[in-house]
Chain A
Amino acid sequence: MTFFNTLRTAFNGIFSNLLRAGLTTLGIVIGVASVITMLALGNGARAAVDANFRYLGSDVVQIGVKEKIDQGEFVPVGQILSYEDGLEMPRQVALVDQVIMSIAGEGKVRHGRNVVDMPLLGATADALLTLIARQEVQPVEWELSKRPLPADFLAQGRFFTPAEVIAGADVCVLGHKTARDLFGGDNPLDELVWVNRRRCIVIGVLTELEVTNPALRNRTRPNESFYLPISTAIANLFDRPPSVVVTARVSDEARMGEARQQIIAYLRQRHGVEKDATGVYADDFELTTRQDILGAQQEAARTFAFLLAAMATVSLVVGGIGIMNVMLVSVTERTREIGVRLAVGATQRDIVGQFLLESVLISAGGGLLGAAVGVLSIPLAAGLNRGVALLSPQSIPLALGVALLTGLLFGLYPALRASRLDPIEALRYE
């Protein structure tokens, strides 16, 4: 029999009991849909990690305070990582030539009658460079290929200088929407705003920004921001000196390990960290490099892949058994038809082909349906996960291939059974 005729025969077989075939595919649909959705979640998580740590160049070490939870609050395990710790670092650590520091706080900002309660950012003078390096946001309608300069992020005025950071000057830079919220349509430049109980002069306004990754756009508000020199922020927003996040740039990328050791030695000495009873240093800070993140991410990806494979296997086996079951019923119901086909000259191979194709078509239908369901449920899954899900393009052919394979595998036994029927008994079957 030609393939086309076999195909038509198989289609006829399916359409003669479409509802049953449809219900049979449910397992495959769920299996394929979950494979696609889970892959999308994994892919999205990976993309988010990538985006979050893209700025972490291979030549930087990020240093933060080590914290523990005490009575429901995060508290440092030892000393805080202070602004001064960071400030001294380029001078004291041979391989570190520059540090960027930042601190996040909250406060009330007031101008005239307008008051906004918002996160405030203490930063060093190169905060805009960090923003560019992260590539999380860009000026609206920015040409993707072009790399923005710090000046491209400023709509008005300027950013604060290193001198203003050192001095703790009372200056600030506003995000686009924050400026509008505080000043309406008026020009904010050189105007005074109150941050908690201290005044500061607006020296710059950022241009309108958008999140680079369209999938993330509705989750963050890039235009609600308020930048202060980090020293000003520490003095103004906190009762006690807070911990800062220090990003140290290493002058020689090839000597990252060495630089790491130097930083550790520097901080241990500054914080007076001693060995504990077991002979291990009880460090009160944590170092992160891109290498660390990649390693952790790969570890997570492996775990995820394992879970995914387990789930896919279970649902596809269930789906496959469903197909096998329905095909066995179909073979029994169509015993007489098989007898007729054998009588007019069908070979065993013809019969195997017909029933195998039928189960493969059922599973392919289930696979296609599952792919559609999977793709459509990605936003839903992302919502439930409060995270990101990004369709991974390879997941569709992968899932379809697995579905086809399932149909082939579980259709084989019923098809072989059909082909082994004795023609005389099949013809006599009632």
Chain B
Amino acid sequence: MTTLINIHQLTKTYQMGDSTVHALRGVSFTVASGEFVALMGPSGSGKSTLMHLLGCLDTPTNGRYELAGQDVGRLSRRARARVRNEQIGFVFQTFNLLPRLSALANVMLPLQYRGRLAGSVVGKTAVSALEQVGLADRMHHKPTELSGGQRQRVAIARALVTDPALILADEPTGNLDSQTGQEIMALLQQLHQNGRTILLVTHDADVAAQTQRVLRMHDGAVISNQ
């Protein structure tokens, strides 16, 4: 198995006036391509901060981050945008769909930022991503016309559409009832079986149990990895 994520002594500190917040205090681990990993830990332990760094939304204060062999920890803003677009798919707790766009348009968005792609290719790819999450029949609906579970499926389709190396999901079931959350987990399971690498933050032990490996964090550090 090839290594997809390799982080070494990753730290992140925030300066809040006079005090320094140590959100991450030297985190190191690797994730192999095709793995399904859960990230757990109490509130404020640094899970989201870590996800942001892994998703190239932010840069670490110190340490090294290699994604698929490329050092992405010190990239320019523009280069990080490109990594986000081509290698990362985000799924958020609050879905973060654009309310004025249809499901299809939301899914097309990452491809539109890719540059020179023919409109027909973009459309077809987006439709097939919606098919994968079982929402092809709702593609012209606006987010407000969809249930929470359906919205999260659209968000997953949007994360999938660029065929990314890594899917990062920060509490994807956090805003859903357990039944719907379970459906979303089944979908992620299925994606994993198709070879996707998924890193998922959760507070729910049942959810974590459905992954291959659980990383536990506490106060900015990984305390267990099994």
Contact = CB atoms under 8 A, between A and B. Distances in A.
In the complex, which range does the number of interface residues on chain A fall in?
A: 20 to 34
Query: Which of the listed residues B52, B81, B100, B114 has the most CB atoms from chain A within 10 Å of its own CB?
Result: B81
B158 interface: yes
Interface in B62-101: 77-78, 81-82, 84-86, 90, 92, 96-98, 100-101
A424 interface: yes
B110 interface: yes
A347 B96 contact: no
B110 A348 contact: no
Interface in A1-21: 1-2, 4-5, 12, 16
Contacts of B77: 347-348
Contacts, number: 65
Among A1, A2, A345, A346, the most chain B Cβ lie within 10 Å of the Cβ of A345
B112 A347 contact: no
A296 interface: no
Contact of B86 (A16, A341, A345): A345
Interface in A307-353: 336-337, 339-350
Interface string A231-243: 0000000000000
- Consensus secondary structure, chain A interface: helix
A372 interface: no
A340 B119 CA distance: 21
B57 interface: yes
Interface in A285-325: none
Interface in B90-125: 90, 92, 96-98, 100-101, 109-110, 112-116, 119
A345 B114 contact: yes
Contact of A345 (B92, B97, B110, B119): B110
Contacts of A343: 55, 57, 84, 90, 96
Contacts of A341: 109, 113
Contacts of B86: 345
B84 A1 contact: no
Interface residues on B, range: 20 to 34
Contacts of B114: 345
B219 interface: no
A336 B96 contact: yes
Given A344-B84, A345-B84, A424-B52, A350 B96 contact: no
B163 interface: no
A344 B57 contact: no
A200 to B, nearest CB: 83
Contacts of A148: none
B116 A346 contact: no
A348 B78 contact: yes
Given A343-B84, A423-B57, 6 more contacts: A2-B116, A340-B96, A340-B98, A344-B85, A345-B81, A347-B81
Interface of A: 1-2, 4-5, 12, 16, 336-337, 339-350, 423-424, 427
16 contacts: A4-B119, A16-B100, A337-B98, A339-B96, A342-B84, A343-B84, A344-B90, A344-B158, A345-B85, A347-B78, A347-B81, A347-B113, A348-B81, A350-B113, A423-B57, A424-B58
